[in-house]
Amino acid sequence: MATGDAEDATAPKELGVADAMAFARELMNAERLDAADELYRRILEAAPDYPDALHFRGVVAFRLGRSEQAETLIRRAVELAPDYADAHGNLGNVLMRQERIEEALTCYERTLELQPDQADAHNNLGNALQLQKRYEEAVARYERAIELRPEFADAHFNLGRALEALDRLSDALAAFRRAVYLWPFHFDSYRRLGTMLYTWGRIEDAADVYRTWLSLDPDNPLAQHLLAACTGQEVPSRASDACVQNIFQGFADSFDQALEKLQYRAPALVAQAAADVLGLPEARLDILDAGCGTGLCAEHFKPFARRLVGVDLSVEMLKRAAMRKLYDELILGELTAFVGAVPAAWDHVVSADTLVYFGDLAPVMAAAQRGLRPGGHLVFTLERADEDLPQGFKINPHGRYSHTETYVRQVLAAARLEPRQIARVHLRLELKKPVEGLLVVAARGA
């Protein structure tokens, strides 16, 4: 966030307040946010209409996660100092966090009216435009930010995202490469760069990117997993908990929109397949949504559920699921352990596009058999592999696993689950092509 000062004429002349402001800034820079917040509070007791103190305390409140307080404080600073460019910009950042995109746009535009050459404001405005899918306009803003500050790594990264959305993949690749060069410890740049390379079939180049990533962050579980996926070496039987958490960290806010763009169908397919075994929507069933994510399955199953529970490894995804107000309970945990923790606890277990992070399905099938009541059903999707795999499943360069139908039947039989339906389906688009999947309904015997 920008942290410039308002005009000197707006500041009180007392030396003590000036010294306190300087010390508060030092506390902010040292990430001693609670101490900075307290000092700004005391300054505002002495000088309640001091725009800089209001602004900076608002910035601190924002960084502490108190968005409503931040908005109140920064709005007051803007009222007192209407030409305070950085306050307008930081108010925009607060509004962006609250997903009030149109209001944030207005703030960033006002910042640029006051300071047309502020690179941060161009970058932030580009982010807001990108959220509105106004990608060409976003590209222009990022390019202007880079023109003003050529070493602006974040703008290069964001430019890459916008160019990727426009299918200008060669230009996007160049932007991500520049971001990696300028910002070597920003690991999402490596992930994006690797993803683009493997989608072009440049698997070994993608592996080199992940090796570089691991040289800087040797214990990163996602980098380890993606390198294994590209090389076929040291492939785990499933993505680790830490890897899954890493995948979805920071992705929750844009998850639903991203899947909409990919024509994501897994929740609707699972609901359609389950319709024949759910009975009437009489709110009488105990249903577990295993790997619930942001809760896209909830609307389909809530009418049938006496109790609808979601379990997921990602705190961020669970927060989004909670906003739907459809689950009776949301659990942070690994689904295999949770689904089998209590014998015969569930009438139905559903899992949309989650078991793609499992190679070996035997443990989760056994857990589901334990957790289901007699006559209960397990409904899930997988990505489909050709039948010529001796092991029955494989990891793909994107890090997800695909399975053969023969293998699925084998693990269901071993878990004493009866396959009621195994259908070939299209799950979503990837590289503008349908992803072939399996839609499975299996029952525990009475």
Domain boundary at 101, 116, 131, which? 116
Buried b / exposed e across 349-374, counting CB within 10 Å, b at 16+?
bbbbbbbbbbbbbebbbbbbbbbbbe
* Secondary structure (3-state) at 278: helix
pLDDT of residue 12: 44
pLDDT tens-place string over residues 229-280: 999 999 999 999 999 998 887 654 555 455 555 557 788 899 989 988 998 9
Do residues 216 and 348 both lie within one domain? no
What is the distance between the alpha carbons of residues 259 and 326, in angstroms, rounded to a whole number? Answer: 20
**β-sheet bridge partners, residue 310:** 289, 330
User: Is residue 424 domain-shared with residue 350, that is, in the same domain?
Assistant: yes
Q: 294: domain range?
A: 252-444
Domain end among 116, 143, 162: 116
What does the block give as tokens for 392? 């029955």
58 within a domain of the structure (yes/no):
yes
The CATH number of whichever domain residue 110 belongs to comes to 1.25.40.10
- The answer to whether position 76 is within a domain reads yes
Q: Answer yes or no: is 131 within a domain.
A: no
Is pLDDT above 80 for 35?
yes
Residue 294 lies in a domain: yes
Does 122 reside within a domain? no
Q: CA 298 to CA 326: how far, in whole Å?
A: 6
β-pair partners for 308: 287
pLDDT at residue 256, rounded to an integer: 47
Q: Compute the mean pLDDT over every residue in the chain, rounded to the nearest whole number.
A: 91
Domain boundary residue, one of 59, 84, 116: 116
Clarify whether residues 79 and 213 are in a common domain: no
Are 208 and 271 contained in the same domain?
no
Question: pLDDT digit string (tens) for 182-235?
Answer: 999 988 899 989 988 988 889 999 999 999 999 999 999 999 999 999 999 999
323 Cβ neighbours under 8 A, 6+ residues apart: none
How high is the pLDDT of residue 290? 97
Same-domain status, 319 and 422 = yes
Residue 198 counted as domain residue = yes
**Does 216 share its domain with 286?**
no
Q: Is there a single domain that holds both residue 295 and residue 224? A: no
User: Cα separation of 80 and 119, whole Å?
Assistant: 25
b/e burial code for range 375-389 (CB count within 10 A of at least 16 → b): ebbbbbbbbbbeeee
Report if residue 371 sits inside a domain.
Answer: yes
Query: What domain count does the chain have?
Result: 3
Inform me whether the pLDDT recorded for 307 exceeds 80.
yes
Q: Examine the pLDDT at 10 and tell me if it is beyond 70.
A: no
Report in angstroms the alpha-carbon separations of 212 from 121, 173, 174, 249, 258. 32, 16, 17, 21, 27
